[in-house]
Amino acid sequence: MLLDFSKNILTDQIIPNNDFQREVLDFLKEWFSDSTTVWVQTSGSTGMPKKFPIEKSKMLNSARMTCDFLDLKEGDTALLCLPIAYISGKMMVVRSLLRKLKLNVVEPSLIPFKNVVGNFTFAAMTPLQVENSLAHLSRIEKLIIGGVAVSELLKRKIFESLLPLSEEIKVQVFETYGMSETLSHIGLKQIFPIAEDYFSLFQGIDISQDPRGCLRIEAPMLHPDVLQTHDMVEILNSKQFRFLGRLDHVINSGGAKIFPEQLEALVKRKIPQEVVFLGVMDQQLGHKLVAVIEGAESISLKDQLLNFKFKYSFHRPKEIIFISEIPRTPNGKVNRIELLQRITKDLS
């Protein structure tokens, strides 16, 4: 389904071909209603999923920030392949409405380009969708990746896929930082053609740190209150920061603070499988570091991880566990709470 917002289209006259197209049209009906808000669902990656209302005016502010940053223009083509229930999918529609883009609506799947033809100016995907679309990335001029952190392994695959074509095509790939409360993302970090270390904030966004080193966000155009996150960061300047890890994911093992996200990013440069580091209760250490690898048990993988050159000796896991499938939230994020419960039960 193509929604060409560069023209005056009557969405109520469009007949959907599947449930997802119907959901998109229902959202447009909600958007054009007299209500000043729309309902958005959270992913549930850091707690129970919930729904809350968001002001349409603030969604337009967020859309404007992204469109300005990426220099999107009227008539540009966009691809929607994310669930419309979440802020990520809704914001793709709002950006298209605001900037009068030609929006191609594709039913969300892990292989978004399976039955899609043509090239696009702009698209948003999850890391898993990108993993399954490496051969098609050259068809997207400006790609943003969100929902979960982009692994070092995937970054390398993106480089390997696009670098041979870099003289023939103009492609930019970005990782996003944001949450439902910030109406999708508040900043981007370029992955290709330049590999950046820090997220760059949009105009109108101010940040600071609390005494714990966690990020605080002031974005009056998006949210009325100062947003206190549990994300530990390093701030380079007023407009750039680097994500270190979630405070509630930090593992205190024998007095040493361990950021599992950093270890995961490090080992995924060498290990193709999903690897998650967790802290399991331990009488001596407080928490002992455990690595969970998705897939069939492998001695070579186990040896590779045990012999990995970590910066500190306490970064080496005390135990390695293999699991057939790591639990995830509906939008693809690792469900650390459920995974820890499973692992704790198995170890008890």
Domains defined for the chain, CATH in brackets: 2-246 (3.40.50.12780), 250-347 (3.30.300.30)
The residue-averaged pLDDT of 39-53 equals 67
Q: What's this model's pTM, rounded to 2 decimal places?
A: 0.79
Strongest mean pLDDT among 10-19, 45-54, 81-90: 81-90
Pick the closest to residue 317 from 330, 329, 304, 327 (CA basis): 304
* CA-CA-CA-CA torsion sign (148, 150, 154, 157): positive
Q: How far apart are CA 136 and CA 330, in angstroms?
A: 24
Is residue 179 classed as helix, strand or coil in its secondary structure?
A: strand
Q: Which residue has the higher pLDDT, 124 or 16?
A: 124
C-alpha span between 152 and 267 (Å, rounded): 8
Share of the chain above pLDDT 70, in %: 96
What distance lies between CA 58 and its chain's CA centroid?
20
Could you tell me the two tokens for 182?
């910030």
**Mean pLDDT, rounded, for 114-143:** 94
pLDDT confidence of 48, banded at 50, 70, 90?
low
Least confident of 40-44, 118-122, 270-274, 310-314: 40-44
> Do strands 275-282 and 286-294 pair parallel, antiparallel, or not at all (unpaired)?
antiparallel
Contacts of 340 (CB under 8 A, 6+ apart): 278, 280
- pLDDT greater than 60 at residue 46: no
The residues near 11 (Cβ < 8 Å, ≥ 6 apart) are 3, 25, 28, 29, 32
The reported pLDDT for the residue numbered 285 is: 84
pLDDT of residue 4: 93
For the chain, the straight-line distance linking the first and the last C-alpha, in angstroms and rounded, comes to 51
Q: How far is CA 206 from CA 52, 136, 284, 300, in A?
A: 24, 36, 42, 46
Mean pLDDT of 244-260: 86
C-beta separation of 147 from 128 below 8 A: no
* pLDDT given at position 8: 83
The predicted model gives 239-249 an average pLDDT of 89
Q: How confident is the model at residue 241 (pLDDT cuts 50, 70, 90)?
A: very high
Contact 16, 1 (CB under 8 A): yes
Residue 120: predicted pLDDT: 97
Task: State how beta strands 140-145 and 120-125 pair.
Answer: parallel
Whether residue 79 contacts residue 122, with contact meaning beta carbons closer than 8 Å, is answered with yes
Judged against a pLDDT cut of 80, whether residue 10 lies above it is answered with no
Average pLDDT over residues 223-244: 92
Other beta carbons within 10 angstroms of residue 26's beta carbon come to 13
pLDDT band at 348 (very low <50, low <70, confident <90, very high): low
Q: Please spell the DSSP secondary structure of 121-144, one letter per residue.
A: EEEEE-HHHHHTTGGGGGGEEEEE
Which pLDDT score, from 0 to 100, does residue 44 have?
Answer: 52
How many residues comprise the chain? 348
**pLDDT > 90 in the chain, percent:** 61
Predicted local distance difference test score (pLDDT) of residue 78: 98
Higher pLDDT, 10 or 6: 6
Residue 108's CB is within 10 A of a number of other CB atoms, namely: 20
Name which of 37-51, 78-92, 251-265 the model is least confident about: 37-51
Calculate ∠ Cα 160-143-195, nearest 5°: 50
Q: What is the 3-state secondary structure (H, E, C) of 3-44?
A: EECCCCCCHHHCCCCCHHHHHHHHHHHHHCCCCCEEEEECCC
Q: Indicate the average pLDDT of the chain.
A: 90
Express each pLDDT in 284-328 by its tens digit.
888 899 999 999 999 999 999 988 988 888 999 999 999 999 998
More confident of the two residues 184 and 132? 132
Q: How far apart are CA 212 and CA 167, in angstroms?
A: 45
Give mean pLDDT, residues 208-220. Answer: 93
Q: What is the pLDDT of residue 240?
A: 96
**Mean pLDDT of the 213-218 span:** 94
**Average pLDDT of the residues in 324-346:** 83
